[in-house]
Structure 1
Amino acid sequence: MDRRGRELFEVGQNRTTRRGAQSAARHAPSHDLKPAPRKAAAFLGLRPSRARLLIGALAIGLALGAAEETLRKTGYVPDKERIARTLGFSIDQVTLVGHRFSYDRDVFDALDLGNVRTFGALDTAAVKARIERLPWIDTAEITRVYPGGLDIRVTERKPYALWSRTGSFYLIDKTGRVLGAVNRDALPDLPRFAGEGAASEAASLLDTIARYPEVASRLTEAERVSERRWRLKLDNATTLELPADDEVGALEELTRDAGLANLVSSGRTTLDFRGPGRVAIRPEPDANAPSGTPTETGS
């Protein structure tokens, strides 16, 4: 066979081969040729690229866990704090706002930055509780600011009254919480209380007295006696000894009885409401005058 004939034979053979291959492809069963990551992505509802990232992260996590377990069995404990800092989880900046009377150092001590240097080691609930135990702090809010910032916002308690006990003076809030020691002349416009147990009962007493303006406007100090009852000292040297279980009844009687009200207004008088059904009245003379004899009036 000459050269041209051989070429025609080879071309014809190629055509025949191609036709056979095409026919076989048409009749062959179909197969899903999608790569595994695409199946995983479809199953998880993720894009293929995100699925690959997720699979990679899981693989790294498993590898690190296996490596840590191996090191632990050999007696080596990895420095998790150092690893966390290396991976970008360190606390690099702390912002504190909202405080006026609290010291920065007290809040940072509660944060425990000496031992807590990464977000992995930060127990937010425990830190919040420690900060809110500080005297002036009412509430604390802790927020992470990416990448390495921590935002702490606090609200402080409000001074409500001045409380004296055993010769010392303290600011208290409305709940009776001690905010700090102060000079006795600090904040002269605040109500003043004295005696053990007075701080926790101060707000309740002031709410009661507020209904009796003739007493409330003159009150200079309320003293808790034996942690059971109140002694009210007014600005005109009048003292009201209230009973342990019926402060309201005594104040109501004072309001109804014009004679008792006049005695309160005149000043230098002690009115003792502790006796059942009667009021003991004792004038309070000047320091140079002899003590007066107590008198009683029925009620």
Structure 2
Amino acid sequence: MEAVKLSGQREINEFQILEALEIHEGSSLALFDADGARERLSKMAWVKHASVMKLYPSTLQINIEERIPYALWQRGDLVSIVNEAGDVITDEVDGRYANLLLVVNHGAQRRATEINTALEKVPDLRPRVRAAFLVSDRRWDLQLENGISIRLPQDNIDAALADLMEMDKESGLLSRDIIAIDMRLADRVTVRLSDETAEERKIMTGGNGRNAKRERDT
């Protein structure tokens, strides 16, 4: 065997593939166990499908189809890369996957497409989202990079996110000194201020300044 040709790999490096092939110096192409090599490759975390072909007189052709990373899934301290169906690909996560949406809690991996699709419709918001938390297997909370929590309704997520971005456009809501934005009720939005801002508001108004409410168009 004089040459090994690889194609299709992105997440897996060449060394990992060659190690799985178990090729040794002086290996004979005719005696090489292609089925065994294919089976070993298929057990690799990133491999969806692998083909191993002998090209006589002296070449081995390896074609790899990899699983596609779709989201990061966290439950407790464990974070995994999952595909679009929510199947775990691997628990080995590094900075290369920082652009994937982090979904949190049990069951969130199976519904990642739901929140990802909604966020794709508000491209100005998506880069600001640090994580999406599935709450009671019913609805989502978004955690922004600046620490603001957005509590979304169970239904009509698209409409809620559109309203949120309209409010941000009008008043810079997402850049204010607030802790949370509660959009769970269809007819109103409740904004929870930070302790410092709430105290200032209380002094100015002479009342409880922690929560501010705004009616939503329905």
Give the TM-score normalised by structure 1: 0.51
Q: Equivalent residue for 1:193? A: 103
Contact 1:142/1:151, CA 8 A, preserved across alignment: yes
* 1:297 aligned partner: 214
AA aligned opposite 1:97: L
Q: Does 1:101 align with 2:101?
A: no
Q: Give the partner amino acid of 2:210.
A: T
CA drift of 1:184 comes to: 6.9
Query: Is the Cα–Cα contact under 8 Å of residues 237 and 267 in structure 1 kept in the other structure?
Result: no
Give the C-alpha shift of residue 221 in structure 1. 1.4
* Higher RCO (CA 8 Å, separation ≥ 6 residues): 2
Q: Which residue of 1 aligns with 2:25?
A: none
Higher mean C-alpha displacement, 198-207 vs 237-246: 198-207
Residue 238 of structure 1 aligns with which residue? 148
Structure with greater proportional strand content: 2
5+ unaligned residues in a row in structure 1: which ranges?
1-91, 110-116
Query: How far apart are 1:254 and its partner, in Å?
Result: 1.9
The amino acid that maps onto 2:12 is: F
Partner residue, 2:52 = 142
The count of corresponding residues between Structure 1 and Structure 2 is 194
User: Offset at 1:261?
Assistant: 5.3
**What root-mean-square deviation, in Å, do the aligned CA atoms of Structure 1 and Structure 2 show?**
3.9
Q: Is the 8 A contact 1:138 1:155 kept in 2?
A: yes
Change (3 A) 1:108 1:227: farther
Residue 153 of structure 1: aligned partner: 63
Q: Per residue, is there more helix in 1 or in 2?
A: 1
Q: Measure how far apart 1:232 and its partner are.
A: 0.8
Query: Structure 2: how far apart are the matches of 1:254 and 1:260?
Result: 10
Q: Name the stretch that deviates more: 200-209 or 225-234.
A: 200-209
For the 8 Å contact 1:285–1:292, the answer to whether it is kept is no
Identical counterparts, % of pairs: 24
Deviation at 1:259, TM superposition (A): 8.2
Structure 2's unaligned 5+ residue stretches are: 23-30, 200-207
1:280 correspondence with 2:190: yes
TM-score when scaled to structure 2? Answer: 0.66
C-alpha displacement of 1:264:
2.0
- Whether the 8 Å contact between 1:280 and 1:297 is mirrored in structure 2 is yes
Residues in 1 aligned to 2:2 and 2:92: alpha-carbon distance in whole angstroms: 34
SS of match in other structure, 2:12: coil
Q: Cα 1:217–1:123, aligned 2, differ >3 Å: closer, same or farther?
A: closer
Contact 2:178 2:191 in 1 (8 A): no
- Tell me if the contact between 2:180 and 2:193 (Cα under 8 Å) persists in the aligned partners: yes
